[in-house]
A and B are shown apart, each in its own frame.
Chain A
Amino acid sequence: MCLAVPGRVLDIEERDGTRMASVDFGGVVKEVCLEYLPDLQIGEYAIVHVGFALQRLDEESAKQTLELFSTLGMLQEEFGDPWELAAQAGGSPLPAAGIDTAQEAQK
């Protein structure tokens, strides 16, 4: 959770009066709130934590970090299925109740 990942802004829209963006994290696209970096523009990079852009980042260092995180499998840790990760950690079967993922919530 504490991992903040650099991402590139693909597009920006206003939703419920809030500035939101689609952000690309080395292939995974997530919705990100821009309220804390309101002047961030399409094509720029930022450090994103739990769906919020927190600080602007230059393109070169952003790309280097993404490449490194990808090599180390950290993007999978951040964006992979948390129930599967938790089941693996505990050596338990997946709980059956309901369906949900962050992706579902974003629909």
Chain B
Amino acid sequence: MKYIDEFQDPDLARRLLDDIHSTVTRPWALMEVCGGQTHTIIRHGIDQLLPDQVELIHGPGCPVCVTPLEVIDKALEIASRPEVIFCSFGDMLRVPGTGRDLFQVRSEGGDVRVVYSPLDALRIAQQNPDREVVFFGIGFETTAPPNAMTVYQARRLGIQNFSLLVSHVRVPPAIEAIMQSPSCRVQAFLAAGHVCSVMGVSEYPGLAERFGVPIVVTGFEPLDILEGVRRTVRQLERGEHTVDNAYPRAVRPEGNPAAQAMLADVFEVTDRAWRGIGTIPGSGWRLSQRYREYDAEYRFSVTGIRTREPAECRSGEVLQGLLKPHECEAFGTLCTPRTPLGATMVSSEGACAAYYLYRRLDITTASLEANSVV
């Protein structure tokens, strides 16, 4: 347990780990859904502190990573237009589309701006009535309510020069798709805490029952992850599969009803393509008919753009937990943060980026050792 002194409360971390070690009797595979959790796990070496029988599989919960290539290409197309101010969160700047990214569009003269909040984009629209302001609305259930509120406000305030390029995704259908895959090895889920802060936990009991998997709502800090794993392993060892909340300080069972009501007003559920994975039924949101005039895809006629992902990129398998990032042939060679093939390598929450950032030396040493044997 060489890293344990770095924990905020090393004694508690040790007690949680001891409990996990003494509980485990056989191998279990747990998927952490959220990319933020993946980074905490890798950064703190939590996977190495756990018993060998407990395997953490990284899930598809990085919104940047799962945004389909064709949506990135639509963003690049819209952002290149002279009349457009294209607003985005910073972590989309380096996500590769076909041949370029938003960072390059800006270098070529496109008016790409980074905002902290979608409401900042709305303010830019108010300040620039002669321009078209487009906000790149990606993200899971945590980001969708802010974006929904922004469109609602645009309509309420009569702001005509604002629109949203929407690619929102929902977690429960992704869990369902993962469990239905014939190659699925996942036996339990650490559910993403902040998604549940908004949505509550009501979508999960049906999934836990149907697939016989424990689902434990888990936070993002190292101790939160250990507690989530501890509760999950206890259930698995007892043969239980219930929904448990290990993050009660931020998650109430009912979630945030005001946010849910806004989502239901502004968005409607739709099938959504996930980068590297394919289309998952009912896994996304788009603007509902009442708000369609704020949909940038229609306003800028880019609905027809279709693209193909690079064959060398195996991020789809990484996102489904079928492959660890460093098992990909392109990892660290063809594909690095400077020359990313897929979004999992550039996103601050991507699994490949986490492995590259925190494991690079280990992997280099390991591969050097492997090579020196020859």
Contacts and interface: CB of A to CB of B under 8 A. Distances in A.
B103 A37 contact: no
A100 B114 contact: yes
Interface in A52-93: 52, 54-55, 57-58, 61, 64-65, 67-68, 72, 77, 79, 82-83, 85-87, 89-92
Range, interface on chain B: 35 or more
Given A2-B62, A49-B146, A102 B114 contact: yes
Given A30-B116, A91-B338, A36 B149 contact: yes
A105 B256 contact: no
A31 B117 contact: yes
A97 B110 contact: yes
A49 B103 contact: no
B103 A86 contact: yes
A31 B146 CA distance: 13
A97 B43 CA distance: 35
A4 interface: yes
A14 interface: no
A101 B114 contact: yes
Interface string B104-136: 001101110111111111011000000000000
Contact of B8 (A1, A37, A64, A96): A64
Contacts of A4: 142, 194, 197
Given A30-B116, A36-B145, A72-B43, A2 B63 contact: yes
A32 B118 CA distance: 11
Main secondary structure of the interface of A (DSSP, over half): mixed
A10 interface: no
A99 B24 CA distance: 55
A4 B116 CA distance: 12
Nearest to A103: B116
B348 interface: yes
A33 B337 CA distance: 34
Interface residues of A, number: 50
Contact of B111 (A58, A61, A64, A98): A98
A36 B34 CA distance: 23
B342 interface: no
Contacts of B149: 33, 35-36, 52
Interface string A1-41: 11110000000000011100000000000111101111000
A82 B272 CA distance: 28
B250 A90 contact: no
Contacts of B157: 16
Contacts of B145: 36, 52, 54
A37 B114 contact: no
A51 B113 CA distance: 16
A65 to B, nearest CB: 6
B103 to A, nearest CB: 5
Nearest to A93: B107
Given A1-B89, A32-B117, 6 more contacts: A2-B62, A54-B198, A77-B348, A82-B91, A87-B103, A97-B109
22 contacts: A1-B89, A4-B194, A17-B156, A36-B149, A36-B258, A37-B258, A47-B250, A51-B116, A52-B146, A54-B256, A55-B252, A67-B8, A82-B93, A90-B94, A95-B106, A96-B107, A97-B107, A98-B106, A105-B115, A105-B120, A105-B124, A106-B120
Interface of A: 1-4, 16-18, 30-33, 35-38, 47, 49-52, 54-55, 57-58, 61, 64-65, 67-68, 72, 77, 79, 82-83, 85-87, 89-92, 95-98, 100-102, 105-106
Q: Which 7 residue pairs spanning A and B have beta carbons closest together?
A: A51-B117, A82-B90, A102-B116, A105-B120, A86-B93, A95-B107, A100-B113
